[in-house]
Amino acid sequence: MPNPLYRWFRGASSGEDETPSVGSVDFGSLRRLTPISRVFGFDRGTPVDRYYIENFLARNASDIRGTVLEAGDDSYTRRLGDERVTRSEVLHVVEGNPQATIVADLAAGENIPSDTFDCIILTQTLQFIYDLKSAILTLHRILRPGGVLLATMPGISQIDHNEWHDSWYWSFTKLSASRLFAGVFSPDSVEIEAHGNVFAAIAFLQGIALEELRVGELDNADPDYQLIITVRASKESAV
């Protein structure tokens, strides 16, 4: 007998516009008050949001070059930077991360020299910083002229259940990200995109893994269901 979760998602992702009549929706395994996974689907495979995050970084891999700063660890620097990276730095907000080469709060900006980085990779980090405007000012300051920030931020999302539960301040939309970054970077140097649709959002909120879905349908973007916001922002070159 087909798994009811598979049966529900097969119908939900069929692309058909027909709306089921009231009372005829089969919720199957989704009729529950607790998620299938509380850890974003990491315990089942790859979280759905990583599909959009990693596709964004791969499309902009040529920006990952020279001196690169990445938050948390250097995994994307190593995976996508290849021989273009000449120096890799890792940022963490508190002591104790063995990979961190710079310990600093982006909102305060201490211990981070100006005009230093050719690329900054900042995935799923800004939601933990209450003073967003100060953090964006720091990111702009520490980029070299011509340097590029590659950032991703959560839109529709659960809140982290573990380490970051007490410091998850924000979720974003394309509009809020546009206002935030265009106030610091030159507006014509900022590219912002929203990714996701209702199918992807439901799967991500439940903690269903990417491997359990038909990946091609995740590419169907619906601006009313913004799961991930991506930002490519470059610092103006020196005159």
Domain total for the chain?
Answer: 1
For Cα atoms 202, 220, 62, give the angle at the middle one, nearest 5 degrees: 110
* Separation between Cα atoms, residue 201 and residue 196, nearest integer Å: 7
**Residue 43 carries which DSSP code?**
T
Provide the terminal-to-terminal Cα distance of the chain, rounded to the nearest Å: 68
- Any domain includes 74: yes
- Any domain includes 140: yes
> Are 190 and 151 a contacting pair, CB within 8 Å?
no
In this predicted model, what pLDDT tens digit does every residue of 120-175 receive, in sequence order? 999 999 999 999 999 999 999 999 999 999 999 999 999 987 777 788 999 999 99
Percent over 70 (pLDDT), the chain: 92
What is the per-residue pLDDT for 12?
54
Domain that holds residue 98: 60-196+227-234
CB under 8 Å to 177, separation ≥6 — which residues?
A: 153, 192, 229, 231
Q: Provide DSSP, 110-139.
A: TT--SS-EEEEEEES-GGG-S-HHHHHHHH
- Any domain includes 7: no
> Are 163 and 157 a contacting pair, CB within 8 Å?
no
- Any domain includes 16: no
Tokens read off for 65 = 């070059």
- Any domain includes 172: yes
Q: What is the pLDDT averaged over residues 181-195? A: 95
Q: For position 83, which CATH number holds? A: 3.40.50.150
- pTM given for the model: 0.90
Torsion-angle region of residue 66: left (phi > 0), alpha (psi -120 to 50) or beta?
Answer: left
Point out which residues pair with 193 in neighbouring strands: 230
- Any domain includes 208: no
In this predicted model, what pLDDT tens digit does every residue of 20-65 receive, in sequence order? 889 888 888 899 999 999 999 999 999 999 999 999 999 999 999 9
Longest dimension (CA), the chain: 68
Identify each DSSP E strand in the chain by its residue range. Answer: 66-71, 85-92, 102-103, 117-123, 143-154, 190-195, 228-234
